[in-house]
Structure 1
């Protein structure tokens, strides 16, 4: 290692069976034969606790087994809840990521579509352009593994929260098989088959548990030294579980005058699980408003929670911002929420704590009010997702998408009829706007089915759902599936809204676009002209939809080689878009590009 790289290293290394183990965060490493990728992609979602004790031997064992395996290694950290499986995986990923120059890909098995997670990672972190000719997310996930950054060495894939057999069976269908991928899985399951090595994570050793409690209280706190036997009994009562020790340590740190004897007396006889009792102890310490916010948090998806989103939901409930801020402080101080790596004002909730909070919500008289407020806040965000996404749009909304998904899957019953379609359209736009058509399709399909079931077949939102789904199929080149949907949407809109309505113009224009893509120009032109005339009459000459019609009609003439007819329409559309949308807008870029293609031809 040269001198400049030595200056960047922060840690030590030692030889173990199977290779070199790196301890600490080494940002740059050069070997004589290979230079590692300077900034391998990773999405490790946690910071990891500062007070990490008692698991160093497991880290070494884990690393040794992953590096030794010549085939695609699947190593399971198996244990009951509260043992610190995810925390151990987090510590491993942070400390030893230098051994994985191909990157660290963190996946959550609880999410509904693991393949979609993989495709999103490739899209966001590696800028891979996933072929849309692959029509299933599973096919796209396999393509991502095959086209992972070449010549960069090993890749660590962390598959967190494999908590039931169904999750595991689904995961097996999309996990990589190449030996450069090393898979670390956290699970409550045991004996997952001969292809899976397993490390069982037991409770901390008594001395390690005692050291953790001492560390949590702080170096100036003398309570463990004053009551050594009580400290031992407290750790034993907690079952030497890391999560329980963290919560009790936070409880004690809040009140320096509280003795260990008193805290042990407050804990009930272990009739229910130790963790549930500790959760209840922490819960009783929260004020009323913090408890309400905690119950609200149980509605969020098991994913990163931006606190700004919590504030948006709280506004729907007319909660004072000062109360919500105080709730965040209390929940964080007591380890009921965790900070997220490199994400300011973002948090996660341990699955067991989330289950506990959900239990509190079930018994709450106002649970429906919380659910409705949560869904309403997410609908407002979904409504603002544009069809043409910029990078800023994606960045601003991507952390909200898992929670909008939670509404679509588990809370759709509390969404008002007039907002029902917005949930699915928002999710569809988010993926379609990035060209991720395979990920968008299930949401448009589910949206159509849901709207038809609740609102009946003869409703304007059904026509919108039909048209949106047809548009997606059109982009995918699935013309035979798109055409009948476009025709159904057009007929339904005319019947429900009359011939002179902007939505009818949209259907005419979209159907014309399908015919244009297919080269059916004689059928496309009259529809484009009808749509343009109708939009001008209903919306006026200066409207973005009119600009769209002008540009689409120009493209038709361009496709036919009628350049003299196409150019003035392209120019009109460009001028109108600049005037209405500003120079920095995706539609302006589209007009510039289309006009350039015309001149090039």
Structure 2
């Protein structure tokens, strides 16, 4: 029995992926997972201050209230800004984590999409692939709570900075309800409802405030002992607020000869805004360059700030790296920035200090320069995001994403017109590359609207934005919505750039992919041929885009059983990808898989098996164990074993592939249906 007849008898279906992103000419579309840690997931961002006094009883009270409930407990630590709510939550999470073997999850309620934060946590810390069939980010967040790993033990969820009613209402929609989760909130609000227990965090007692000030100055400093009444008056002036005490303590530590009487005299008599006065005192102590760096830092989102990103922005301003490093040291020394646990060279800014620093930008002559430099540094990152995202790619860019979103939402006027597209393309590609389509779509839509508003309807960036949104719909199987956008993009590219342009080739190729997926091969083939010919003419024969064109045309022939035409194209695509991209690249894995499928279909099993094995190993290494491309390789290798009658080897591979597809795509996605049918046919 020849190979094709045997495959038909078994009803085997091959799953091979193909696709293109923007200018990406990618023969495999990626949805990376993140690295899984064997210990319980934990993303507590702060180390906690070394001098933590006066709150031990509150820690005990927190633990008692959180653990005593049988139902999901929501406990709010309420108090004014600067009182130490976040620090209390940090200390509790660090000291009592043994009570939460299921893990600790720290969320920031100020994020524009809290559901996205939950999904990213699940992917990075628990290796979960969220089903792409879930249409809303809220559904995806709820799925993450339901599938939390490990499956046993309580989980602590810290929801920081719930500071307005709207913020709270939005957060409630995505919080877990299962009784294994304990939710600890920090908020400036009171009376959040009957379902929320509340602990009010007041200022420190006068004695605890004195103890904190003493500890901050160090055991060898005797100023508090020499001026006990002045020290008490200073603590009172500061309202016994931990943040104010930390800043004044840092100020005093800077000058051991400065008396407490002198610093109290430097503070204004009016006390309506103690913290702002203390911020100003620290601000005046900074040199000009350090003040400039502080103003720059205020532009960042209220999230982890990588030093490398600060340096990139400072390069736009021609600031010397040595000056930036010294400024960061001075800001950290004075408690104006905080270090981040388990992340070297990263900082955060207290929300109140960020607000103070942003106030310094108002009316500043150089404010626009700072904003433009900040935006330019983020744009530069987006332009370096590769077309085919791997695990390492996601890891390398993820800390920049909140700050890129800050540019998109609040600083878009600081972005040059030619870079507007890149802001939204970077955000969309980051989420789309992980299969988070519901999070990618708003950025692509906003990007399309923004470039249309700023550049008009007849601009290449509008065409590219149409193409990106269309490709997102294509990836979701929403072909009816994708086709008109692909056609608009193609028409616009041709009109603006002429018939002979690389972007026209990409647009032709993407439309052909859509038609191929719909079985409209008579329409797909001439478009693939046009795209390939155009790429060769414009880019030369040795270009990654040509390799993609060869692969996609070959796959069309393969699907039509035109093996003699498909094989040499697959061979060329593989050789070209290896030469241009290196042996370890997702395109190479895809080409290995495709060529192996040709050999299998021709009954050349000895040639097919090693290629399938190479493709599987490479996909796992680059993209993670639970990636759709891994499922495809497992399915195809199982098909080879099925064709050889090696059913005991085929079945476990199909079970693995089915598990991945169900988790990633859902039970009714075409890929899932294909694998399930293959398994049923094998078991029949």
Residue 150 of structure 1 deviates from its aligned partner by 4.9
CA distance in 1, matches of 2:150, 2:556: 41
Output the CA distance in 2 between the equivalents of 1:271 and 1:438. Answer: 48
Quote the Cα distance in structure 1 between the aligned partners of 2:216 and 2:249.
6
Query: What aligned pairs does 1:162-311 form with structure 2 within 5 A after superposition?
Result: 162-311=162-311
Tell me, in whole angstroms, the C-alpha distance in 2 between the residues paired with 1:440 and 1:95: 37
Deviates more, 1:347-356 or 1:562-571: 562-571
> Which residue matches 1:498?
498
Q: Partner of 1:77: helix, strand, or coil?
A: strand
Preserved contact between residue 210 and residue 235 of structure 1 (Cα < 8 Å): yes
Question: 1:135, 1:595 → 2: CA distance?
Answer: 35
Q: Indicate if the aligned counterparts of 1:386 and 1:429 stay in contact, CA closer than 8 A.
A: no
Deviation at 1:166, TM superposition (A): 1.1
Offset of 1:436 from its aligned partner? 2.1
Find the aligned partners of 1:430 and 1:597 in 2 and give their Cα distance: 31
Please tell me whether residue 371 in structure 1 is matched to residue 371 in structure 2. Answer: yes
- Distance of 2:38 and 2:343 partners within structure 1: 22
**Counterpart residue number, 2:395:** 395
For 1:23, the equivalent position in structure 2 comes to: none
Alpha-carbon deviations, 1:215-253, whole Å to 9, x = none? Answer: 000011111111111111111100000000000000011
Deviation at 1:272, TM superposition (A): 3.6
Distance between the aligned counterparts of 1:127 and 1:316, measured in 2? 37
Structure 1 partner of 2:556: 556
Q: Describe the superposition over 1:547-589 as per-residue Cα deviations: whole angstroms up to 9, x where unpaired.
A: 0111111222222333332222111101001111111222112
Distance 1:392 1:150, change over 3 A: closer
C-alpha contact (below 8 Å) 2:551/2:591 kept by paired residues = yes
* Structure 1 stretches of at least 4 aligned residues deviating more than 6 Å after TM superposition: none
Q: 1:274-423 to 2 correspondence within 5 Å?
A: 274-423=274-423
How large is the Cα RMSD of the aligned pairs?
A: 1.2
Deviation (angstroms), 1:432: 1.6
Unpaired runs of at least 5, structure 1: 1-36
Deviation of the 1:270 alpha carbon = 2.5
8 Å contact from structure 1 (residues 296, 370) kept in 2: yes
CA contact (8 A) 1:528 1:552 kept: yes
In structure 1, distance between residues paired with 2:598 and 2:336: 60
**Is this contact kept in 1: 2:237–2:271, CA < 8 A?**
no
Which residue in the other structure is 1:117 paired with?
A: 117
Cα contact 1:570–1:595 (8 A) shared by 2: yes
Matches within 5 A, 1:132-147: 132-147=132-147
SS of the equivalent of 2:345 reads strand
Q: Which residue of 2 aligns with 1:8?
A: none
TM-score (norm 1): 0.92
Take 1:258 and 1:597, find their aligned partners in 2: how far apart are those partners?
A: 78
Match of 1:483 in 2: 483
Whether contact under 8 Å (1:163, 1:188) holds in the other structure is: yes
Q: How many residues align?
A: 565
- SS of corresponding position for 2:219: coil
Change in CA separation of 1:246 and 1:411 when aligned onto 2, cut-off 3 Å: same
**Cα contact 2:305–2:347 (8 A) shared by 1:** yes
Unaligned 5+ segments in structure 2 are 1-36, 602-684
Q: State the alpha-carbon separation in 2 of the partners of residues 281 and 561 from structure 1.
A: 77
Q: Aligned to 1:82, what secondary structure does the other structure show? A: coil
**Which residue number corresponds to residue 106 of structure 2?**
106
**In 2, distance between residues paired with 1:346 and 1:38?**
24
Distance apart, 1:489 and its partner CA: 0.3
The one-character-per-residue Cα deviations of 1:56-110 (angstroms, maximum 9, x if unpaired) are: 1111111111101111111111111000111111111111111111111111111
Q: CA deviation at 1:600?
A: 4.1
String of CA shifts for 1:144-196, please: whole Å, max 9, x gaps: 11111153211111111111111111111111111111111111111111111
Of structures 1 and 2, the one scoring higher in RCO (CA 8 A, sep 6+) is 2
Distance 1:572 1:376 in 2: 39
Instruction: Kindly provide the CA deviation profile for residues 449-495 of structure 1, in whole angstroms up to 9, marking residues without a partner as x.
Output: 11111111111100000001111111111111111100110111111
* SS of residue matched to 2:250: helix
How far apart are the structure 1 equivalents of 2:167 and 2:571?
Answer: 53
**What secondary structure does 1:399 align onto?**
helix
In structure 2, C-alpha distance between the alignment counterparts of 1:183 and 1:238, rounded to whole Å? 31
In the alignment, is the contact (CA less than 8 A) between 2:237 and 2:274 conserved in 1?
Answer: yes
- Look up the SS of the partner of 2:101 in the other structure: coil
How far off its partner does 1:434 sit?
Answer: 2.1
Q: What is the rounded CA distance, in whole Å, between the counterparts of 2:163 and 2:246 in structure 1?
A: 23
**C-alpha distance 207-597 of structure 1, shift in aligned 2 (>3 A):** farther
Q: Secondary structure at the match of 2:399?
A: coil
Residue 38 (structure 1) shift? 6.1
Cross-structure match for 1:153: 153
1:79 aligns with: 79
Match of 1:515? Answer: 515
Residue matched to 1:529: 529
Show CA shifts across 1:18-72 (max 9, x none).
xxxxxxxxxxxxxxxxxxx961001111111011111111111111111011111
Q: For residue 199 of structure 1, give the secondary structure of its aligned residue in structure 2.
A: strand
1:66 lines up with 2:61 in the alignment? no
Shift in Å, 1:518:
1.7
